[in-house]
Amino acid sequence: MKLTSTRGFFLSGLILLFSQACLAADDGRTALGGPGEAEVIAGTGYAHTLFDSAEQKCQHCHNDLYDTWKTSMHAKSWKDPIFQSKYQDFLRLQASKIGASTANGTYKEGTIQKTGRVCIKCHAPTAYYSDDYQIELSRIGGDAGDPAYDSEAAYADALTRQANLAPAYNPDAKATVASLAKTGQAYTVSYQIGHSHNREGINCAFCHSMETVRMMQADPNFGDGGQYKLQYPIKMGPIGPVVFNKGDTLWYNADASDALMNAFFALIGPEKYTDVANTPKDTIDFDSPRNADGRYTMKSVPTGYDTDSGKPYYTGGPFYGPFGVTGLSNSNGDADASDRAALVNPHFVDAVEAADGDKFTSGHHFAAYGKALCLSCHQRSSLMLNPEYNGNTTVDVGEDNFLELCSTWTAMSDGVGDNYQDTATAPKCQRCHMEPLAGKTVLHKWDKPDELFTAADGVTKHFDPTSGVGPVAEGYLNNHAFMGANKADFGLVKIKSGFESDMKARKLGKKGKKLVVDSRILNTTAHMFPGAHPMRRVLTRVVVTDADGVKVPYASATGDSDFKTITNQLATLAGDTIMPGHETVKVEYSPARELVIQGYTPNLDEDVVFSQMMDDTQVEWVSPDATVVDCTDDEGNVISEKGPVMTSKGWAIKGCTTVKKIIDSDDFENFTRIYGRETGKRFDPADLTSAHVVRPGFDSNIAADNRLQPNEFENYKIFYDTSNVAWPVTVKYKVYYLKKGGSGKFPTGADGFFDTSLPADKKKKLAIYEVYSKDVVIE
């Protein structure tokens, strides 16, 4: 039996998009004869799109911008092997739930058609908005309702049908995963994005097609007035209870843990309206019928034909940039029957430069509301209710709040600034993650990098090279590599710019019977460190050895926290130069700030502290996905193979995993501190002291959070008994960035630091990088 669902309706018409016919240019770029070859029929449904292609279109006039974007995780948001690995596990999980029932409903075969599309709202938003996504659910081995049905044999057969699996995922081909449902039915789930434009992840056309970010502030004279009326109810998962009803109004709050704001963060992706050609642009129309609730509105896309002229509409997009529309005409000439001026957001027209000449505070939401735009994707609540009280006394959040997966919103407002404007205590994201690069070409004529548009060609003043204002005339562009903790720019200096660290050591007393080591680390970002993603961790380690190379155990340690105004020294890709005057970003600290983040560990106040480790105790685990492995004994022998089992709740996959949570260590050979968030599944959610299995991803409870707050400075005093050691003593201090959390591991070599002798593939999988080191010799 094969169950297939695709959106089958199409919208006719033409917009400025690109054909698939192209030639390879000598410089390796995609080459088209001209913009006329870049036309495709616009529409919705499988294998259709409403968006331009970065590769086939944007790079022809924006080479430098395209080159920076191409290295970004936005460009890889759909094809990234880590994401695809977790997404394929997510589909296995969804298929395994088929047949599960609650008091609120049953997970049916058709339910996966909806839940399977959740991740694409952020990772392939053009596919979501264009309805270009196909899921095929197939029963394997017959019907589980047949008494002769062999579940294990059918599941084994389903496993042989898996194809295009991560990390070797190919976005141009269909992928298939296998799963075993609670009913004992074996399934395969296949998925595919049909149109190549929509496989580009978060491409140029998508971000530059956003019109209004919802709930960005409470000003009744702007945007939505800080309120959002739900078109559909918000439920706890696909078959869970309704938490907010259709028609409920959610209100803006700077505090992300506020119940109504927290619920808004459970909405992801763009709003989708009944008429995609006429999305609303003002407060009055925002609550008109929506096909889907979301975080922002998209640009209007005129489709069909002008009945007066008989000419096709062209959008000439993307329309929007930090200084408004590029031009009031385009290269289609008379064929462009649209009124481009009418499609310009009025905030572009009214935008004025700041008195201090800062070009990054204009009236467009890419500028003045930059934080709100970024946070529309980078702040997320799950649809699982938070089992813990998180400090918010206005509501019973243990019952009413969803798990807050990304806490950037709160950190960016801090109760002092706000999360939509650029403020001294919480600068907008673009200041550090889209640093202005000097000596770049923003806009040139089609496939003519050395020939710029002029005012005579109809470009607006900010794209006129003789205007004296704007990126073209001033010779800069904002880096679209979105520098951060990603593979493209890692190994350079971006991560190192996010913190400052130091270590000092000295003898106590004239006889040198004691040694004290101060290790210090300061968060120099405007958000939590090591970041919003729950996989990220940072580990610091101190090792002391005497003249004979013998490790000196520490005797005790204390920790202290403080806050200070910081200056972030911006970092960029090799070969790029930051525009003079924008090399640093200052983040002021206000003692009035109050962050409410669930599970957050209180600041230290000369407290006794201990060395830490990641608990790697092996435990049996029942899971629907590939995160479990064979169970082994202490010698590594397989004592139980992972595989399908019948539990009290039905069929599942049983195997082993490790606990991975951060715990105090009784190992005194070194002193280690680990910063990060615990995310995972407890064995018994009612027992907060029970084991906590940490699994990379956003599907889980938050048991503890000991990241550094913005401006937070942490210092550890570590005391050593050196009465019987051979002098001189060597003190070594290192900071490691664990991009994937080290998979809950930190392999240690004989010197007490990360074991660099591991095979290359093992080190790549762990993704542990040394980002700071200092040695001190005490005579």
Q: Which residues contact 123 (CB under 8 A, 6 or more apart)?
A: 77, 78, 83, 87, 201, 202
Give the least confident one: 291-305, 501-515, 702-716.
291-305
Q: Which of 145, 156, 194, 185 is nearest to 44 (CA)?
A: 194
Kindly state the helix (H) or strand (E) to which residue 204 belongs, with its residue range.
Answer: helix 204-207
Residue with the bigger pLDDT between 392 and 703: it is: 703
Mean pLDDT of 198-213: 88
Greatest mean pLDDT range, 150-164, 531-545, 668-682, 688-702: 150-164
Cβ proximity of 383 and 240 under 8 Å:
yes
Alpha-carbon distance of 170 to 188, in angstroms, equals 18
Residue with the bigger pLDDT between 387 and 35: it is: 35
Residue with the bigger pLDDT between 334 and 376: it is: 376
Report pTM. 0.88
In this predicted structure, what is the pLDDT of residue 351? 41
Q: Which of 505, 366, 384, 489 is nearest to 428 (CA)?
A: 366
Q: Does 395 score more than 50 pLDDT?
A: no
Tokens of 5: 């669902």
Alpha-carbon distance of 405 to 268, in angstroms, equals 13
Residue with the bigger pLDDT between 63 and 22: it is: 63
Mean pLDDT of 97-103: 87
Cβ proximity of 720 and 556 under 8 Å:
no
Cβ proximity of 213 and 365 under 8 Å:
yes
Mean pLDDT of 195-222: 83
b/e for 457-479, b at 16 or more Cβ within 10 A? eebbebbbbebeebbbbbebbbb
pLDDT tier, 494 (very low <50, low <70, confident <90, very high otherwise): confident
Mean pLDDT of 707-724: 95
Q: Which of 604, 570, 407, 572 is nearest to 498 (CA)?
A: 570
pLDDT, averaged across the chain: 81
Q: What is the pLDDT of residues 604-653, one digit of tens each?
A: 999 999 999 998 888 777 766 556 788 999 888 999 888 777 766 566 77
In this predicted structure, what is the pLDDT of residue 306? 62
Q: Which of 90, 54, 330, 336 is nearest to 200 (CA)?
A: 54
DSSP 8-class letter at 248: -
Q: Which of 658, 619, 623 is nearest to 179 (CA)?
A: 623
pLDDT tier, 314 (very low <50, low <70, confident <90, very high otherwise): low
Maximum C-alpha span of the chain: 97
In this predicted structure, what is the pLDDT of residue 103? 84
For residue 575, count other CB atoms closer than 10 A to its CB: 6
- Determine how β-strand 605-608 pairs with β-strand 643-647: unpaired
DSSP, residue by residue, 62-84: -HHHHHHHHTSTTTTTTT-HHHH
In this predicted structure, what is the pLDDT of residue 425? 92
Q: Does 281 score more than 60 pLDDT?
A: yes
DSSP 8-class letter at 234: E
Tokens of 667: 């190992």
% of the chain at pLDDT higher than 90: 42
pLDDT tier, 705 (very low <50, low <70, confident <90, very high otherwise): confident
In this predicted structure, what is the pLDDT of residue 391? 41
Cβ proximity of 445 and 35 under 8 Å:
no
Q: Does 354 score more than 50 pLDDT?
A: no
Alpha-carbon distance of 111 to 92, in angstroms, equals 13
Mean pLDDT of 512-537: 90
Q: Does 14 score more than 70 pLDDT?
A: no
Q: Does 9 score more than 50 pLDDT?
A: no
For residue 741, count other CB atoms closer than 10 A to its CB: 27
Residue 492's SS3 state is coil
